[in-house]
Amino acid sequence: MFAEYFEIIFMFFKAFVVGGLICTVAQVIINFTDLTAGKILVCFMLAGVALQALGVYQYLVDFAGAGATVPISGFGYLLAKGGIEGAKEGLFAAVTGPLRAASAGVTAAVIFSFLVAILFRARTKYN
């Protein structure tokens, strides 16, 4: 029984450490460069795509779980994984594979954004 709890706690620890390291790298880039947040997000997403194309990111996902899939680099990993799996079925599936793989997350983001927009009134910072 104690071993099961230890395994769960260790899984959370691994996710926290890996996700924290990814966020730390992003914060260092923000602090020491003039890159905008949008450019940093795109770089991290493309890094996830490149690491998955090289076959490296899957090992990180297997090790850290949500610590590797929740950051924006995980979205790049998901797109690349969908494209690679779709390419096995043909050219059209290679194009639609990333869309199919990411559709649940994008749909959830749109629905929850809509619900929050209904529940709260948007206003500027100075109002």
Reported as a single tens digit per residue, the pLDDT across 67-85 is 998 888 988 999 999 998 8
Judge whether 97 and 82 are in contact, CB under 8 Å.
Answer: yes
First-to-last alpha carbon distance for the chain, in angstroms, is 54
What pLDDT sits at residue 127?
A: 57
125 compared with 44, residue with greater pLDDT:
44
User: Is 0.75 topped by the overall pTM?
Assistant: yes
